[in-house]
Structure 1
Amino acid sequence: CKNISLDDSLTDDDNETTVFMFTLPGWQIALWTMVYSFVVIASIVGNVTVIWIILAHKRMRTVTNYFIVNLALSDLLMAAFNTVFNFIYASHNVWYFGKEFCRFQNIVPVTAVFVSIYSMTAVAADRYMAIIYPFKPKLSATNTKVIVGIIWLVAFGLAFPQCFYAEIIVSDDGMTKCTVDWPGDIGGKHQLTYHIAVIVLIYLMPLMVMFVTYSIIGITLWGNTFPGDEANRAYYQHRVTAKKKFVRTMVVVVITFAICWFPYHVYFILGSFREDIYNQKYIQQVYLAVFLLAMSSTMYNPIIYCCLNQRFRSGFRIAFQWCPYIKATERDSLKLTYPPPFQKIHKNQPTTKSNSIYCSLIK
């Protein structure tokens, strides 16, 4: 998560130093601009719609969905600021936006990615507690806001060093660069240590936690039967099926995030050990492709919600009913407004260990 300069000194056969500056032809910049513009627009429209669906409909205002709002907000921040300005910097190899915005650009990526992945982790933890420990008190709205606030504070704290040490420099060829100048960083050791710590904290560790959490949830949801009479079994099965669908949705979100960001992290780790890769002929196109894949993660979540979740799908129909071929029905409005009727457990239903399991699954 850093800005890089793509021009460097190369040595010719006569051992004379020349400057090789990476520039793209106009037609290539135009193609990259169209692709990046699509990603940014899709991300902004999709995440704003997700936020509206949750905040504008009372039934959608759950603890889990508040974390999804937080995730959508961080993706919105990433798309609107980091994607646009870093693309301009990477494609033109010149920083046009001044020192203060250079510092801002160095705090946005780490902050947004941290908030994104720890919002996903919070969703996983909330579902884990609701299913595995159903009789423990659920998170209140106040506690949820506190957790969201802590996530943002820790994210800012982790990103602050890059912001603090961000500097504007002018290279030998007169080009303005936005870089992070670590004090006393001999051989780039401080920079490497920071990036490894960031990758562990915002990628490896939360992914491991979510892998374990969703594995336990999956074993619980898919590995139990439901005692009782036929009516109650049908009701519980319906509720558990809904929970399975939500778990599938979040697992797809997590896997998509992991795939999109993996090449980006590998790129900078390799660059920290072998800076000569930045001198390769096609490295600018490679960086733009890797960066595009990472930034595209901000647009996939709304698509995943719409495809795999009925209530979000209804919300998207309502939001875009002004578009041709998209029709919102009264049923879509009901899904976002009224909860399903509650069916009580029969009084003569036996109280067993199995009952406690399926009671946990429907909560």
Structure 2
Amino acid sequence: MELHEDSHREVGINNSYELTAVQFCFENVNKSCIKTTYSPFPRMILYVVFGFGTLLAVFGNLLVITAILHFRQLHTPTNFLIASLACADFLVGLTVMPFSMVRSVESCWYFGESFCKFHTCFDGSFCYSSVFHLCFISIDRYIAVTDPLIYPTKVTVPISGMCIALSWGCSITYIFSLIYTGANDDGLEDLVIALSCVGGCQAAMNQDWVLVGFLLFLIPTIAMLIIYGKIFLVAKQQARKIESSSNQTQASAESYKDRVAKRERKAAKTLGIAMAVFLVCWLPYFIDTLVDAYMNFITPAYVYEILLWFVYYNSAMNPLIYAFFYPWFRKAIKLIVSGRILRNDSSSMNLFSEDVEIHN
């Protein structure tokens, strides 16, 4: 009899534990989403990892934008494209990553339904804007490497401005129209109703729009791969030609062209690395969303979050790439951090000279 009573007591304790273990995003709200909680240490680690990526995306890209816009020597069509790309990454760090960080760690959306839509639109807009920017940059680099002397007359600042406007205009129009017309979840009404709860922020995408989104990523990506393949082929041929040149007079006459070509090849290589990092970060996410849409959304939540944060971390990577490969960017950072940027003559400093003085 005593054993029987103890068993009942144990069952009662287990049942009460299960009831208290279930937590909701909003305890006193009907149809609240269920909250998945982490123990304190993993929770702290996640906040540190996501927070570090957010700060790097914001301040790293802010340095890129400041350097290019402040120093007149950097006012070139290519650099304006890079500054605009950095602007997209900066906005990801400022308007997307902090809120996604809370959602990922707390498994709840605490910022309201209206901002959820804006957040989704910002996320998608900045993504496609980055793709289009990288595509235009690859075309810019192709012209610069294949014809470095005629490049300044072919690619001008107004043309660069048109590419920037096109990149932003197309991406913003596409994503905002898709989300605010509700076209993204046509045919998924039952699923949306079944999964709807207070404290959630997920945009359902039907198969058609997932495919369109994937193609909008894939087509520019294939174009970039082909263009960079041609760039490196031309760069290899140019390097061989310079090495095999035996005529000293001819070498002397072409020295300026060779120097320009070498500089452009180095810039193309750096931007090619930035594109490769972009692919590594973005491709798994796009493949997963495509497979998920056609396999009835089978991706576990934690796998989706990992892929999503790979995407977000891409926004923090470009400043690190520039800092590693561009001496002028390292010099610009030192000038900005040391405060010399506040001087009247700082905008006219020569960042490409080896004797740029950083200290007083």
Taking structure 2 as the reference length, the TM-score comes to: 0.74
* Cα distance between partner residues in 1 of 2:315 and 2:109: 24
1:294 aligns with 2:294: no
Contact 2:64/2:86 (<8 A) preserved = yes
Aligned equivalent of 1:142, options 152, 158, 172? 158
* Cα distance between partner residues in 2 of 1:84 and 1:37: 7
Aligned equivalent of 1:269, options 279, 290, 308? 290
Residue aligned with 1:180, SS: coil
* Cα distance between partner residues in 2 of 1:93 and 1:164: 27
Return the offset for 1:335.
3.5
* Cα distance between partner residues in 1 of 2:251 and 2:290: 57
Aligned equivalent of 1:115, options 129, 132, 142? 129
Contact 2:142/2:231 (<8 A) preserved = yes
Contact 2:71/2:349 (<8 A) preserved = no
Letter in 2 for 1:231: S
Return the offset for 1:105.
1.0
User: Cα deviation per residue 1:267-320 (whole Å; 9 max; x = unaligned)?
Assistant: 322322334635xxxx34323322221111011111111111121121122223
Letter in 2 for 1:307: F
1:316 aligns with 2:333: yes
Equivalent position of 2:208 in the other structure: 193
Equivalent position of 2:143 in the other structure: 129
Contact 1:128/1:213 (<8 A) preserved = yes
User: Cα deviation per residue 1:313-363 (whole Å; 9 max; x = unaligned)?
Assistant: 2112222347xxxxxxxxx985327899xxxxxxxxxxxxxxxxxxxxxxx
Contact 1:170/1:176 (<8 A) preserved = no
How many residues align structurally?
A: 301
Query: Which structure has more helix as a fraction of its residues?
Result: 2
* Cα distance between partner residues in 1 of 2:195 and 2:254: 74
* Cα distance between partner residues in 1 of 2:196 and 2:222: 45
Equivalent position of 2:13 in the other structure: none
Alignment of 1:16-35 (within 5 A): 22-35=36-49
1:248 aligns with 2:262: no
Contact 2:145/2:265 (<8 A) preserved = no
Equivalent position of 1:209 in the other structure: 223
Equivalent position of 1:178 in the other structure: 201
Aligned in 2, Cα 1:173/1:45: closer, same or farther, shift over 3 Å? closer
Equivalent position of 1:258 in the other structure: 279
Contact 1:118/1:206 (<8 A) preserved = yes
Return the offset for 1:142.
2.5
Equivalent position of 2:12 in the other structure: none
1:55 aligns with 2:69: yes
Equivalent position of 2:107 in the other structure: 93
Letter in 1 for 2:312: M
* Cα distance between partner residues in 2 of 1:174 and 1:305: 43
Return the offset for 1:81.
1.6
* Cα distance between partner residues in 1 of 2:156 and 2:196: 57
User: Cα deviation per residue 1:11-43 (whole Å; 9 max; x = unaligned)?
Assistant: xxxxxxxx9864333332221111000001011
Alignment of 1:342-353 (within 5 A): none
Return the offset for 1:233.
4.6
Contact 1:87/1:288 (<8 A) preserved = no
Contact 2:145/2:261 (<8 A) preserved = no
Residue aligned with 1:302, SS: helix
* Cα distance between partner residues in 1 of 2:122 and 2:82: 19
Residue aligned with 2:351, SS: helix
Identity %: 20
* Cα distance between partner residues in 1 of 2:52 and 2:202: 28
* Cα distance between partner residues in 1 of 2:163 and 2:261: 27
Aligned in 2, Cα 1:242/1:259: closer, same or farther, shift over 3 Å? same
Return the offset for 1:61.
0.6
Equivalent position of 2:173 in the other structure: 157
Unaligned runs of 5+ in 1: 1-6, 8-18, 182-189, 323-331, 341-363
* Cα distance between partner residues in 2 of 1:163 and 1:271: 23
* Cα distance between partner residues in 2 of 1:173 and 1:236: 62
Contact 1:170/1:177 (<8 A) preserved = no
Unaligned runs of 5+ in 2: 1-21, 23-32, 186-191, 340-346, 356-360
User: Cα deviation per residue 1:113-132 (whole Å; 9 max; x = unaligned)?
Assistant: 11112111111111222343
Letter in 2 for 1:42: L
* Cα distance between partner residues in 2 of 1:57 and 1:205: 35
* Cα distance between partner residues in 1 of 2:35 and 2:91: 31
Return the offset for 1:75.
0.4
Contact 1:91/1:284 (<8 A) preserved = no
Return the offset for 1:87.
2.5
Larger Rg: 2
Taking structure 1 as the reference length, the TM-score comes to: 0.74
Residue aligned with 1:97, SS: coil
Return the offset for 1:170.
8.8
Residue aligned with 1:32, SS: helix
